[in-house]
Amino acid sequence: MPDPTPASAATMRAAVQHRYGPPSVLESSEVGVPRPDRGEVLVQVRAASVHPGDYFVMTGEPYVVRLAFGLRRPRHGIPGRDLAGVVEAVGTDATAIRPGEKVFGWSTAGALAEYASVPADRLVSVPADLSFVDAAAVPTSGMTALQAVRDIANVRPGQSVLVTGASGGVGSFAVQIAKAFGAEVTGVCSTRNVDMVRSLGADHVVDYTGTDFTRTGKRYDVILDNVESEPLAAVRRALTRYVAAGHTRGKVVITV
C-alpha cells in the first residue's frame, strides 16, 4: 500500500485543545499530518466552519457531550468538523474520490487544520459555482435544516412554514429548502437581517424586535424553531406542527 502521507507535509499547523474550556484553550500548534485509513481521504483544508455543536465540544458543556467526545479531555485534540478543500491522497478503499478533486463534508477528527482525514462517504464534490468558503458552511447546518424540513416536518407545497432564527446557520438553509419545497415561508429575525432573510426567498419576514409572532393571530402549518425563545404554550397559539432544531428541547415534534 502506498504511503498516503505527502512527504512535503509531514507536519501541519492546526488549532489544538488539550482540555475543555473557553476559546482560550485553543492553541495554534505544529502537529503530524493525519494518515488516512483505507476508507478515508486526506483533504487539504481550504475552508472550515464552526457551528454551535463545535462550541459545545470545545467547552465540554453540557456535560453529556463528554460521553461522546472524551470524559476528562477531548478525544480529538483538533476541533471543528465541517470543511471544504482539495483531495491530497486517498486510502486504498476510497476508490470513488481522486486526488485533486474539490470536496466538502464532515471530518470526524478535526477540521481546523491544514489537513484533515475524512471518511470518504462523508464527502461530496464541490459544485463548480460554489466557493470553498460557502461549501464549508453547508454540511451540518444544511443537513440539520434538510432533516427538519423534509424528514421531520414533511413540508409540502402550499403549506405555510414559519422559521425562527431565519438569519442563522440552520434557519437560513431552512428558509431556502422550505421555499424550494413550495411552501409559503415566513422568517423571523432581527431588524438588521430582514433584507437578508427576504433575499433568501422568504415570502414574509417578522422582525422579532417589534412583533411577537405568537400574538399576530396568524397560524402556520409548520413552525421550525431554531431559537426556542418563546414558551411552548405561546407557540401553540400559532401552529399546527412544531419542530425544534435546538438543543434545549431536543428533537421535539408536536402536532396540534
Ligand X SMILES: NC(=O)c1ccc[n+]([C@@H]2O[C@H](COP(=O)([O-])OP(=O)(O)OC[C@H]3O[C@@H](n4cnc5c(N)ncnc54)[C@H](OP(=O)(O)O)[C@@H]3O)[C@@H](O)[C@H]2O)c1
Contact residues for ligand X, defined by CB under 6 A: 51-53, 140-141, 144, 164-165, 167-171, 188-190, 193, 208, 226-227, 229, 245-247
CB of 29 to ligand X, least distance (A): 26
Hey, what's the cell of 97?
474520490
Cα separation, 229 vs 209, whole angstroms:
12
Least gap, CB of 208 to ligand X (angstroms): 4
Q: How many CB atoms lie within 10 A of CB 11?
A: 12
Nearer to ligand X, 12 or 188 (CB): 188
- Least Å from the CB of residue 17 to ligand X: 19
Q: What is the grid cell recorded at 206?
A: 417578522
* 14, 110 Cβ separation under 8 angstroms: yes
Nearer to ligand X by Cβ, of 183 and 245: the residue is 245
CB-nearer residue toward ligand X: 9 or 130: 130
DSSP structural state of residue 33:
P
Kindly tell me which of 114 and 134 has the beta carbon lying closer to ligand X: 134
Distance CA 115, CA 45 (A): 5
Residue 91 vs 187, nearer CB to ligand X = 187
Nearest distance in Å: CB 148, ligand X: 9
**Residue 53 contacts residue 143 (beta carbons within 8 Å):** no
Q: Are strands 204-207 and 115-119 parallel, antiparallel or unpaired?
A: unpaired
CA distance 110 to 135: 17
Nearest distance in Å: CB 141, ligand X: 4
Comparing every residue's Cβ against ligand X, the nearest one is 168
CB atoms within 10 A of CB 111: 29
